[in-house]
Structure 1
């Protein structure tokens, strides 16, 4: 059958094109109701700042090829199963499901790649599942301990979800660092004890000569220059978790000050894989179940600020690119 798919066709250019979809005997056909636009990876692609030779995502069967133009991309779609293949159980028909699928009106997919939307989670809330799963992975990698001071740089959607997950821990203090006032207020709403502008952080961390710096720092702003500030906020024997992906933008870090003497650890975190030290007891399925539990508990609906018809999708990317005050999670809606 015919469908409409969103393509990134060049820097700052998108187009909706007619494509076709075929359903195999062991697949279902999903009609999309809503999809979420990522202000991280998708915005890098939109701006032409993603490494074109990099595979789009080797862990998702719904996304193939590399990041060169033109490409279909996206990983947060929710819709209804409207048809099933001959080898699929009849119970799948009519279910509302989530899939890591690009922005398009219909898609075929194997049932094992779907997550059924729980009855107590709305369709729009479910679109934020990838962000909450990323936050869950970031917290697993950061290993927060009781009584620790934790600083999160960046209160975008992933940063706010991470703050929400961290707020359930018995930390000493949870500090959000964000230049946009409205996002600082959202960080407090989701559980941050303190939310400050970047130039106010030093005053917050100064707790005496024997207790300077944070125990755990997250860099989630998406800006390479913020990595310096994250390392600077870390205390002795602390750790910095870099969850931002900068694409092809270089990150120059000043390691000539207290970095070596303070034995600061800088680690990467990425949701596509599980960290080696967690694989003994954690699986992707267990992490997904944990993320669903967090999704139920967090007020993720408050992060949705704009709903734009799929036919007007280029407006969504322009809106995110301009970083207008008040813009957080943008949804594409399908008639």
Structure 2
């Protein structure tokens, strides 16, 4: 299928060929008939992509500071690699999609195949969208009209925040697409609406809708005009839908408001606010959040958990439905806003001239198709007939793009497939790294007898089930940590593993780092108990990010601290027999990203893992101290190692290396030539159970035996 993307690295807007997505649980698969180009939002993205690196940096000064902090801790090369990897990830354009449902995922009951629907899907021939971001289109609303659903909901949410009442005077600053819809909705609410815009054609169109529309470029003073229309009272509310970096807009909005008036920002403007303007009038100012309540809430959007209507009357989906109803009742006229209709294949007629476009609304028209395009597309011409150690990858996220694939490319690994849920990220990586096939159907990898090893880099809640499926297909498994999120999942993998002559490798790469290898060599193999203090300055992650969800990410101990449990096991040469963890916070059972883990080993080794998220980003992210036989080793951020009390060794340093390359090198060699797993499975199992025990320990307030 075809999809429009923005290349942030070189600024090109591309019509890319990607596999059609597979409908996921809680989603509907839609064949697109129309999409609306949001000229305001999409113009900003396109112009950002076309900007050079200096211009990009000036637009995002907060990101520049993060980059400089990363250089200090991780070094220049890893930082540059990280920045270029981020810029190399294409951005799907568009969020106003209309089409027909062609498939329904599990758990979806309100839609059926054949329904016409509007959603926030991108410019793509097929999209898979969560059910709470999809609304049915009334019979007498055309696909073109329905394409305004999402953009209309943005204006509607601004109105919900400003809470207009019958007879009030509301000013709309900026009569672009959102502004013109907002003005119509306000008229529908019984308000007197004043609109300002410097584009005379938009002013004239607004006048046709009964708006008191003015072009300030003709010499009209906006503040005085509002005062004259309201008999010196001022506007009851101002909705800013303009896009302009100037601070004048917010200042004028305050000056034209009455005492205790309301201002809502829907657009993007300068926000250097004058305290006097707001103080003297006791004005309220609020910034909207996209389509309405539920936006950016995974529980609502991704998991499909609706907010109860008696308590949250207007969610983003109910806003979609309200806009469609307004279009159906002809109280909002969107047909006059359409400037052009362009076939999808001629998309560049819109995107090549966005900066100078006078268009209000551009509609992309899609070909009528009954056949569903392939879920796999061929990228390379690789011949794997006589090869061994052929790989398939499930997951095309940040770890795959920034760490795994660069290492596999250096190793000349034979990667036959990469699977991604949406198809775009996998296709981008296929082209960049010469992978033969991009697919959205991971089962194709399992069914191919040529594939020897399948590598999993998906979200944590799928690791156990995918590992089991891969073993059932009689293939080796590499799964980026963790192996499982709980004992039940672990047991299902273990049962399958015990019936197969295949290996499971979990991505505990730290043990393969050059400095970890050096530490192990210096400590020797006497099995003498040692003391270890390992500190992970992990950094803060907001609570609404999926890694904190125990059902999806497993929390940061199971999902991340397991790395250091394995490292301590490797350095000690022993296995964990008991675990005790203490966590900081009001609810330590859930807030486990600031915790200390005590590990007791069979050989008497004592290890302490401090996993903290409240430290400075300027400080080293990882540090390990080992005390043994009147000797001490200090490893700092995988760049420096110091030794005290060792004959012939005092220090060693290198560029930052966490062991990923060595891990994959050993893994591919093992798959090609056979032999033992690069990490003994009993150690993987021990680390996995120790991470579960740590979380259980917090709940019980006691030591947990393994």
Q: TM-score, normalised by structure 2?
A: 0.41
Q: Say yes or no: does 1:280 pair with 2:311.
A: yes
Q: Say yes or no: does 1:232 pair with 2:255.
A: yes
Q: Deviations over 1:82-132 (max 9, x none)?
A: 455698779822222222111111223455643222101000000000122
Mapped partners of 1:157, 1:293: distance in 2:
19
Alignment match, 2:2: 4
- SS of 2:268's equivalent? coil
Contact in 1 for aligned 2:338/2:360 (Cα 8 Å): yes
Q: Say yes or no: does 1:195 pair with 2:213.
A: yes
Mapped partners of 2:265, 2:310: distance in 1:
20
- SS of 2:42's equivalent? helix
User: Pairwise mapping of residues 254-269 of structure 1 onto structure 2 (< 5 A)?
Assistant: 254-255=273-274, 257-269=276-288
Alignment match, 2:355: 321
Q: Deviations over 1:162-208 (max 9, x none)?
A: 1001002333x31111111111112122231x111124224422349
Alignment match, 1:334: 366
Alignment match, 1:13: 12
Residue of structure 2 aligned with 1:81, choices 101, 105, 109: 101
Alignment match, 2:90: 70
Return the offset for 1:261: 1.3
Residue of structure 1 aligned with 2:157, choices 107, 130, 137: 137
Unaligned 5+ runs, structure 2? 49-55, 64-85, 295-308, 368-706
User: Pairwise mapping of residues 177-192 of structure 1 onto structure 2 (< 5 A)?
Assistant: 177-192=196-211
Return the offset for 1:24: 4.1
Alignment match, 1:295: 327
Larger Rg: 1 or 2? 2
Return the offset for 1:38: 0.8
User: Which stretch shifts more, 286-295 or 122-131?
Assistant: 286-295
Question: Could you say if the C-alpha distance between residues 91 and 183 of structure 1 is closer, same or farther in structure 2, counting changes exceeding 3 Å?
Answer: closer
Question: Could you say if the C-alpha distance between residues 24 and 269 of structure 1 is closer, same or farther in structure 2, counting changes exceeding 3 Å?
Answer: closer
Mapped partners of 1:97, 1:229: distance in 2:
40
Contact in 2 for aligned 1:40/1:245 (Cα 8 Å): no
Question: Could you say if the C-alpha distance between residues 43 and 268 of structure 1 is closer, same or farther in structure 2, counting changes exceeding 3 Å?
Answer: same
Question: Could you say if the C-alpha distance between residues 264 and 283 of structure 1 is closer, same or farther in structure 2, counting changes exceeding 3 Å?
Answer: closer
Question: Could you say if the C-alpha distance between residues 135 and 87 of structure 1 is closer, same or farther in structure 2, counting changes exceeding 3 Å?
Answer: closer
Mapped partners of 2:157, 2:111: distance in 1:
32
Mapped partners of 2:229, 2:106: distance in 1:
69
Q: Say yes or no: does 1:214 pair with 2:212.
A: no
Alignment match, 1:62: none
Unaligned 5+ runs, structure 1? 54-65
User: Pairwise mapping of residues 140-155 of structure 1 onto structure 2 (< 5 A)?
Assistant: 140-155=160-175
- SS of 2:18's equivalent? strand
Question: Could you say if the C-alpha distance between residues 69 and 235 of structure 1 is closer, same or farther in structure 2, counting changes exceeding 3 Å?
Answer: farther
Q: Say yes or no: does 1:42 pair with 2:42.
A: yes
Mapped partners of 1:135, 1:67: distance in 2:
31
- SS of 1:6's equivalent? strand
Alignment match, 2:31: 31
> Runs (4+) of structure 1 moved beyond 6 Å?
85-91
Contact in 1 for aligned 2:29/2:128 (Cα 8 Å): yes
Mapped partners of 1:35, 1:164: distance in 2:
22
Mapped partners of 1:261, 1:157: distance in 2:
33
Question: Could you say if the C-alpha distance between residues 19 and 264 of structure 1 is closer, same or farther in structure 2, counting changes exceeding 3 Å?
Answer: same
Mapped partners of 1:137, 1:299: distance in 2:
18
User: Which stretch shifts more, 224-233 or 77-86?
Assistant: 77-86
Residue of structure 1 aligned with 2:142, choices 122, 145, 148: 122
Higher share in helix? 2
Alignment match, 1:59: none
Q: Say yes or no: does 1:241 pair with 2:264.
A: yes
User: Which stretch shifts more, 134-143 or 210-219?
Assistant: 210-219
